[in-house]
Structure 1
Amino acid sequence: MGTPLREVTFVVVDLETTGAAPGAHALTEIGALKVRGGEVLARFSTLVNPGAAVPPQITALTGITNAMLVGAPDVAPCLEDFLSWAGLDAGTADNDSNPAVPGSGTPTDTVLVAHNARFDVGHLRGAAKALGIGWTEPRVLDTLALARRAWPRGKVPNHRLSTLAALVGASTRPTHRALDDASATADVLHAALEVLAPLGVTHLEDLATATDPVPARRRARSRLAEGLPTTPGVYQLCSATGEVLYVGSTVNLHRRVRSYFTAAERRPRVIRILDTTTEVRHVPTPTLLEARVRELRLIAELDPVANRRSRAPRRQPWLHLVAGPEPHLALTAVLPLREVGYAVGPFWSRRGAQEALRAAESVLRLRRRDDWVRTNSPGPSTTGGSPTAQASDRAASFLSGQTDLVAAEVLERVRRLAQAQRYEEAGTWTRRLRSLLQAALRAERTRPLLTCPHLVAARPREHGGWELVAVRWGMLAGSLVTPPGTDPRPGVAALRSSARVVSQPTLVGQEASVEETLLLADWVLDAGARLVEVDGDPQALSWPAASAARYGKVLHTDPHLDSDRPCHRG
């Protein structure tokens, strides 16, 4: 659920300087308060000898004279003492640390607070760097930005510290002395958080987006996340009429849904539907993998207006070989399962499929069907050792995993074009080959699962126990999680008996979309997974020696990823 703000330790700091740029000779005074739950836990105040004269105009503003600083400690020990007191020194704090609050007995998160924090934090950082003092970036909260969200222009004439202190009735008036200004800043902080609490700023994690320009009406809708579990699951953002506007999956339902109503959400198509979202439906799942699979299925079924991926999974084309007197390569969205071993795909777009077809045809020399119709030629026979039969055999070998048959020749063509400085043509053929290789890589990863009647795979969980997944004919049939420290074998038996019964399909994508099978392949065939049960030939779960994954430079991506695959994360 996150850390409530009442449990967060705020170190509210203010600096006085000579007016010089951040460095070793700028600080003249450091004042700070350590507050938590509205109470002051400790104070820190010291004058600092900057080793340089204080200009008269600075003395007039702050009242700090050169004579006052003669006996003060130098910048280095003052800065080290402050960082240690605040729990922000490099030896004890980092972005994920929980420094202990003196006297509290329990560790809490610490946030550095200042009014116009860029100035104060910039001077602290600059002095530490100039003096060689260890510095790790802390969490920072700027009360200037926070006040602009709490009290927009129109409610206050400006957002100076003195104006805000008067507005909230601060107990200390700002005087341009460090400790007084830090005390006034602390009062402004507490008042601003009270104003923003009804808008959803209630936890430490909310501070990262609290100062962003999110409409109050949208931020207030973060209450829709109340009561959601912190477990994996799939969720639906719905309108007042019950229409499903968006479907997503996540490892933490409460945190993810809450984030939609902060500045963390920047996608225009999603932002447009947030103001009409009145309900969040959710289904908890034992594993994140099952949540992602359910997401794909719901998007295909419901076609939500704000989702972009998986809206027509059964219209994605494959490249296959059409047999007959005049064999040729063709694209089809209806691929029999028995032909999946001799096909490449799916392609995410028709255009990409056409590009890949051009690349394959240029090497395999099989005349395309429309060419035969246009010339009205019966063509050569495919019997015996005819050129057509040989080309057909090469095409079948390529489609079944011998990627080199096409890739090597196209790459050689690209090399020759580049040597001739025909770079545009070289780029065109590289793009065509990339589309073909990406589809070949998808086929290589999905074939083992599409043709497997049943398998159970397992992966260890970070905090103990196992995630178990059952896959049948490329479809997720069930998943469960075993408790830490227990024998997982009863879980395997329970999953085997409770998993969904899936009949062997006749067409690819008939029971489950290929995107679902790809998700499962990424999980099952990953190096961290263990195959527990496999019906059929276990060797079918291996990749061909001439895998498309070998051409990582052409793919412009990690061999296990698709660079042209639409982003779908919710």
Structure 2
Amino acid sequence: MTSAAHQQARLGQQLSLDELGEPLHAITFVVVDLETTGGAANGDAITEIGAVKVRGGEVLGEFQTLVNPLMAITPFVSVLTGITDSMVGTAPTISAAVPAFLEFARGSVLVAHNAPFDIGFLKAACAQLSLPWPAFAVVDTAVLARRVLTRDEVPNCKLATLAPFFRAATTPTHRALDDARATVDVLHGLIARLGSVGVHSLTELREFTAQVTDAQRRKRHLADGLPPRPGVYIFRDAQGRPLYVGTSRNLRSRVRQYFVASETRSRMGEMVGLAERVDPIECAHTLEAQVRELRLIAAHKPRYNKRSKFPERSVWLKLTVEPYPRLSIVRDRRDDGASYLGPLRTQRQAEAVRDAIHDAVPLRQCSDRLSLRRVVRAACVLAGIGRCGAPCEGNMSPQQYAALVGLVASAWVGDVRPLVEPLERKIAALAETQRYEQAGVLRDRISTVVQACARMQRLASLRAVAELVGARPDGDGGWEISIVRAGRLAAAGHAPRGVPPWPVIEALRQTADVVDPSHEPLAEETECILRWLEEPGTRLADASGGWMMPAFGAGRMSSYLAGGARQAADPFADRRRLPVVSRPTRASA
């Protein structure tokens, strides 16, 4: 067998394992049932614990104990369960019974019929004993039965109904061990049913119990044949039009989730209902998948994608080309000799950057057409408070005003300190007079400016490199390889374990896309590449020139960048949280 054929055979075996995940026959289940003094986990107590440990249809062990609830058992409960006060008088309390059960169930998947009831009591007991609740995976046979069985087969999904339907060897008696044994047979009967609909692993079992429409389930076959590889998937309608574009490390696993997982987004259920096929695009690694996804969304604008559909709607801050330039927010970047800052993500961010620059530098804010030869009009109020140099009155020479404009333009692409330092002095002055609220607003503005300048400088630095080769370990002894040209992903490949990476790199170079440096790539694509290059373990294998950042650029101001990240994470960060002084009293009837 050739090495290529051997590799293909190995990949074929891995395909099967990836598809199945952790097979159900290899999982250890502990089926548990409780008897209690009532139905409230925080007010009633456990009187009996019964559990059966099974794997692959074989019983590995059983656990049963009465529990002294340290409270009286009502006559109704005694009649229902057959457990009396005298029976539990000498039984262990929960301080001994629950830890013993947790030890018995360690490392298993818990199964219960109407699991919230039993698991709720066990969690309450752990909280009472100050014991941490283990991170058990839980399967509820009642929920599973509702998904698998129809009303024609069983009138309800009670354990007493399901046990005879699946010919359980034990009849439920409202005693913990008997009910647990009956639940084991119900579980096995349900798993046998699930095999016919393609549910073979624990992940698929838990996903199958989620509430999805029948239309989604019927289209599960659309995921058949998809590779368990990183890449992009495209849902298409009957006319072949893209409905939704997504990316995943495992195409088959991700697409199958649309048909068996609990998809809470109603628009996704609608999309699956319209889909007639899913087209996969295999990628060498996750970076290529992310970039292809961005390009496809921008090109086709699928109706069910929301993110990155309109990259052309970027916002820019422009220094106009006039005798006395001013800041203007525009939608397009043109080759008109003007200086631009961007692309900025939103109009609101552009306005915040503009306001911060006006706080630091007294550029004019009016839209009048000013002349170098004569005074246009009287200065506005901004000149009186020092927020404008009043070129309209002739108070600033063109050379003086040009120096201010040059300071702003150079800060965008290089040294950002001249913009930040005046604002920092204002913050210090406000803090001295205990005007902390205004100082906080000003600091937020600095963070916005630094964040915008840092983003532009990072993008520009990578776009200035004609060709760059990055390599990152794939976690299996191989290398993920990316060829980046002018900030755009030109080629992607993979050198598996045992294959020298440099021949792969040279082959990728020969087939890589030819990139025109004058055509800027999508900003989000360049940002994806930057994140990939900056991840731990990624190596810069080769570069056609220096990859440089400004010595005093915005990237040095980590404190402001961190502040900007926190503000972006909190949509209410620009609002000041006020302490609650008093609360209204509740009105009495």
TM-score (norm 1): 0.81
Please state whether the residue corresponding to 1:30 is helix, strand or coil.
strand
Corresponding residue for residue 539 of structure 2: 530
The superposition leaves residues 120-139 of structure 1 with CA deviations (integer Å, 9 ceiling, x where unpaired) of 22333344454566651211
Corresponding residue for residue 451 of structure 1: 464
Corresponding residue for residue 544 of structure 1: 553
Corresponding residue for residue 256 of structure 2: 258
The superposition leaves residues 417-443 of structure 1 with CA deviations (integer Å, 9 ceiling, x where unpaired) of 7968796x8787666555443322210
Q: How many residues matched?
A: 534
Please state whether the residue corresponding to 1:359 is helix, strand or coil.
helix
Corresponding residue for residue 478 of structure 2: 465
Find the partner of 1:348 among 345, 359, 362: 345
Contact persistence 1:381–1:389 (CA under 8 A) = no
Contact persistence 2:360–2:423 (CA under 8 A) = yes
The superposition leaves residues 132-171 of structure 1 with CA deviations (integer Å, 9 ceiling, x where unpaired) of 6665121111222223333477975544322333444433
The superposition leaves residues 25-78 of structure 1 with CA deviations (integer Å, 9 ceiling, x where unpaired) of 9443332223344x2423414332527454433322112344544665665555
Report the residue type matching 2:343 in the other structure.
Answer: P
Report the residue type matching 1:555 in the other structure.
Answer: G
Contact persistence 1:325–1:381 (CA under 8 A) = no
Find the partner of 2:219 among 212, 218, 221: 221
Distance 1:350 1:51, change over 3 A: closer
Greater mean deviation of Cα atoms: 541-550 or 271-280:
541-550
The superposition leaves residues 334-355 of structure 1 with CA deviations (integer Å, 9 ceiling, x where unpaired) of 5479989x64211123343244
Distance 1:331 1:562, change over 3 A: farther
For residues 53 and 555 of structure 2, what CA distance do their matches in structure 1 show? 63
Residue 483 (structure 1) aligned with residue 496 (structure 2): yes
1:178 positional shift: 1.4
Corresponding residue for residue 312 of structure 2: 314
Find the partner of 1:48 among 35, 55, 66: 66
Distance 1:125 1:334, change over 3 A: closer
Residue 7 (structure 1) aligned with residue 20 (structure 2): no
Corresponding residue for residue 451 of structure 2: 438
Q: How does 1:89-128 map to 2 (within 5 A)?
A: 93=107, 110-128=108-126
TM-score (norm 2): 0.79
Structure of higher RCO (CA pairs closer than 8 Å, 6+ residues apart): 1
1:466 positional shift: 1.9
Distance 1:402 1:370, change over 3 A: same
Contact persistence 1:29–1:46 (CA under 8 A) = yes
1:551 positional shift: 0.7
Please state whether the residue corresponding to 1:495 is helix, strand or coil.
helix
Contact persistence 2:416–2:554 (CA under 8 A) = no
Greater mean deviation of Cα atoms: 251-260 or 77-86:
77-86
For residues 214 and 196 of structure 2, what CA distance do their matches in structure 1 show? 9
Distance 1:198 1:416, change over 3 A: farther
Contact persistence 1:478–1:498 (CA under 8 A) = yes
For residues 548 and 498 of structure 1, what CA distance do their matches in structure 2 show? 40
Contact persistence 1:326–1:382 (CA under 8 A) = no
Distance 1:198 1:356, change over 3 A: farther
Corresponding residue for residue 100 of structure 1: none
Residue 278 (structure 1) aligned with residue 276 (structure 2): yes
1:454 positional shift: 0.7
Greater mean deviation of Cα atoms: 328-337 or 257-266:
328-337
Contact persistence 1:320–1:399 (CA under 8 A) = no
Report the residue type matching 1:295 in the other structure.
Answer: E
Distance 1:40 1:23, change over 3 A: farther
Report the residue type matching 1:489 in the other structure.
Answer: W
Residue segments in structure 1 that go unaligned for 5+ positions in a row: 94-109, 565-570
Corresponding residue for residue 173 of structure 1: 171
Find the partner of 1:389 among 387, 393, 402: 402
Distance 1:157 1:407, change over 3 A: farther
Corresponding residue for residue 581 of structure 2: none
For residues 535 and 496 of structure 1, what CA distance do their matches in structure 2 show? 12
1:498 positional shift: 3.1
Greater mean deviation of Cα atoms: 319-328 or 396-405:
319-328
Corresponding residue for residue 326 of structure 2: 328
Contact persistence 2:223–2:252 (CA under 8 A) = yes
Please state whether the residue corresponding to 2:247 is helix, strand or coil.
strand
Find the partner of 2:522 among 504, 513, 533: 513
For residues 536 and 65 of structure 2, what CA distance do their matches in structure 1 show? 59
Distance 1:500 1:427, change over 3 A: same
The superposition leaves residues 164-185 of structure 1 with CA deviations (integer Å, 9 ceiling, x where unpaired) of 3344443332111112211222
Identity of aligned residues (%): 37
For residues 311 and 44 of structure 2, what CA distance do their matches in structure 1 show? 65
The superposition leaves residues 390-432 of structure 1 with CA deviations (integer Å, 9 ceiling, x where unpaired) of 2122112222233333344446657777968796x87876665
Find the partner of 1:358 among 340, 348, 355: 355
Please state whether the residue corresponding to 2:369 is helix, strand or coil.
helix
Report the residue type matching 1:41 in the other structure.
Answer: V
Find the partner of 1:493 among 503, 506, 528: 506
Corresponding residue for residue 245 of structure 1: 243
What root-mean-square deviation, in Å, do the aligned CA atoms of Structure 1 and Structure 2 show?
3.8
Contact persistence 2:412–2:457 (CA under 8 A) = no
Q: How does 1:53-202 map to 2 (within 5 A)?
A: 54-69=73-88, 75=94, 78-86=97-105, 88=106, 93=107, 110-131=108-129, 135-151=133-149, 157-194=155-192, 201-202=199-200
Corresponding residue for residue 300 of structure 1: 298
For residues 182 and 200 of structure 1, what CA distance do their matches in structure 2 show? 27
Contact persistence 1:465–1:484 (CA under 8 A) = yes
